[in-house]
Structure 1
Amino acid sequence: MRVNVLQHTPNEGPGAIASWCYDRGHDMYVYHPYQFGKLPSAEETDMLVILGGPMSPNDDLDWIKAERTLIAKLIASDTPIFGACYGAQQIAMVLGSEVHKAPHKEVGWAPVYLKSHAINSLPEKMLALHWHEEMFEIPDGAHLLFSSDLVENQGFVFGSHVLGLQFHFEPLADNVREMVVNDGDYALDHNDLKQTPADILKQNVPAENKTIMYQLLDFIAK
């Protein structure tokens, strides 16, 4: 299977998603549309992964609109799609929902709580990395999958092959360090989790997060 990954900033890479591709025998192709303006075609995409980034889906940029055109084609063909943070917001907009400022800016580690058993065997409570100040509304026909203490809409599943998370399960330890050393100042400005870059680095990435990431990708890929 060809897994096409859309990466939107150098310091937010695929992390455990790359490990999943390797372990499952899939070929991963990483695109950087914010820099090169290139996207895969729907015909050459067996799964699409849309990663996070500092931009907003509401930004008036041609490549952001082109991503949504691609997402719409893939949803119509029932192709598996996973979105993290900005990526989930892009999916939500394609499904007719709005993206706007969240009631709380979350940067750092905080628990999320399972709200639906649409995907079997997920824990009721998980510690995830948050790095956002916008949020999506849950699309019509989708199930609310996760909530946090500060922001209700943290994840959704649409049908059997489309999944969006406002937070991050994909970063491994190296990825967290890369995010913090390059974008740690984002945590210092009106962060409702009250965590500094040093606080974020002190927390070890929970071992279960990689397992959960695999479960989510297995679910939409089946």
Structure 2
Amino acid sequence: MRINVLQHTPNEGPGAIQTWSHKHQHEMYIYHPYQFGILPKIDETDMLVILGGPMSPNDHDDWIVQERQLIKEAMTKNIPIFGACFGAQQIAKTLGYKIGKAKKEVGWAPVYLQSDVIPGLPKKLTALHWHEETFEIPDGADLLFSSDLLKNQGFVMNHRIIGLQFHFEPLADNVREMVVNDGSYTAGNYLKQTPADILAHPVPTENEAIMNKLLDYICE
């Protein structure tokens, strides 16, 4: 299977998604449309992963608009799609739903399961948050996760699409990369966590397993 990953900033890579890809002997291609303006062709895409980034789906850059066209084509072909943070917002925007401001969450905080559509997920998990925008839940999708500060933290749709406002994919090295390069983003966040606080918190051991379960689900 060819997994095409859309990465939107150098310090937010695929992390555990890449580990899952290697485990299943898939081929992963990582695109950087914000820098090179190149997107994969839909007929070369077996799975689409849209990662986070500092931009907004409400921005008008050509590549952001073109990326949504690719997402739309993937939906038409029933291709598995996973979106994290900006990626989840792009999915919702593609479907015609609004992206708006939310309370700024940066750091580790619990998320609570809201649907049993995916078997075997724990009722409560600790995830890494790095955002201040949110999406509307699309019609036909199930609300998957909520947090104490934000109801719409994740959705699942048609057994093929998952969008998460937060991050399960970062491994320990990825968290360190995010913090050393974008630690200033913690300023003024509602979780009141500093870069040092985030680095001191270990990545929960179950997060990679949950990431694997979510990817397995949309690829069944």
> 2:198 matched to which residue of 1?
200
Q: What does the per-residue CA deviation read over 1:17-74, in whole Å, with 9 as the maximum and x for residues that have no partner?
A: 0000000111000000000000001100000000000000000110000000000000
Match of 1:54 in 2: 54
Q: Which runs of 5+ in 2 are unaligned?
A: none
Using the alignment, how far apart are the partners of 2:110 and 2:156 within structure 1? 19
Distance in 2, Cα, partners of 1:158 & 1:93: 14
Task: Measure the CA separation in 1 of the matches of 2:17 and 2:43.
Answer: 21
> Which residue is 1:118 aligned to?
117
Q: What is the aligned partner in structure 1 of residue 77 from structure 2? A: 77
Query: Does structure 2 retain, via aligned residues, the 8 Å contact 1:105–1:132?
Result: yes
- For these two proteins, the number of residue pairs brought into alignment is 220
What residue identity is the alignment partner of 1:132? H
User: Is 1:23 equivalent to 2:16 in the alignment?
Assistant: no
Matched, 1:221 2:219: yes
1:144-183 to structure 2, matched below 5 A, reads 144-183=143-182
1:92–1:138 Cα contact (<8 Å) kept: yes
- The aligned amino acid for 2:210 is I
* Distance of 2:68 and 2:45 partners within structure 1: 14
Residue by residue, what CA displacement relative to the aligned partner does 1:165-208 show, whole Å, maximum 9, x if unpaired? 000000000000000000001002x2000000000000000010
Superimposed CA distance per residue, residues 88-125 of structure 1 (whole angstroms, 9 cap, x where no aligned partner): 000001112110101x1100000000000110000000
Which residue in the other structure is 1:64 paired with? 64
Partners in 2 of 1:96 and 1:139 — Cα distance? 8
Provide the secondary structure at the position in 1 that maps to 2:79: coil
Identity of aligned residues (%): 69
Match of 1:211 in 2: 209
Q: Which ranges in structure 1 are unaligned for 5 or more consecutive residues?
A: none
| Residue equivalent to 1:11 | 11
C-alpha RMSD of the superposition: 0.4
TM-score (norm 2): 0.99
Q: CA deviation at 1:152?
A: 0.3
TM-score w.r.t. length of structure 1 = 0.99
- Equivalent-residue separation in structure 1 for 2:29 and 2:186 (angstroms): 30
Q: Is the CA contact (8 Å cut-off) linking 1:95 and 1:140 kept in structure 2?
A: no
How far apart, in 1, do the equivalents of 2:7 and 2:37 lie? 11
* Greater than 4 Å deviation, 4+ residue runs: none
